[in-house]
């Protein structure tokens, strides 16, 4: 018999965008500060994976809400999604393809000043 393990889901950038718009989910960006500053999704919440691994709490804006976790390409967001699910987050989904796929899908990206951003 296998022990019960909390799992996380996977979702597309378009579905994550819709869930943040229509369902109150939070897009949680786990990239590092320089990546975030260069370009992120409007309304996303920043929580670097390095901080989460060091034991940092989720930012208040992300607590108790469904989480759509995103990074640059999808690797760090999978790791963060597993970590958050293990910590007890009830609704966690990893955004496949990360911000690269988000931008390729034509979804908005802004920099730290709110201007058009880029994916670093």
Residues belonging to the active site: 71
Q: Give Cα 17 distance to the centre of its chain.
A: 11
Which letter, b or e, does each residue of 86-98 get, where b requires 16 or more Cβ atoms within 10 Å of its Cβ?
A: eeebeebbbbbbb
Long-range contacts of 52-58 (CB under 8 A, 24+ apart): 52/80, 52/83, 52/84, 53/83, 58/28, 58/84, 58/89
Between the two ends of the chain, the Cα-to-Cα distance in Å is 44
């Amino acid at each position: 018999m296998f022990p019960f393990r909390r799992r996380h889901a996977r979702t597309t950038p378009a579905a994550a965008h819709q869930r943040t718009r229509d369902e109150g989910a939070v897009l949680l960006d786990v990239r590092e500060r320089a990546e975030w500053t260069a370009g992120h999704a409007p309304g996303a919440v920043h929580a670097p994976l390095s901080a989460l691994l060091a034991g940092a709490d989720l930012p208040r804006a992300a607590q108790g809400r469904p989480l759509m976790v995103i990074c640059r390409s999808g690797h760090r967001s999978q790791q963060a999604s597993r970590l958050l699910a293990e910590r007890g987050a009830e609704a966690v989904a990893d955004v496949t393809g990360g911000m690269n796929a988000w931008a390729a899908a034509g979804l908005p990206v802004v920099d730290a000043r709110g201007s058009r951003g880029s994916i670093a």
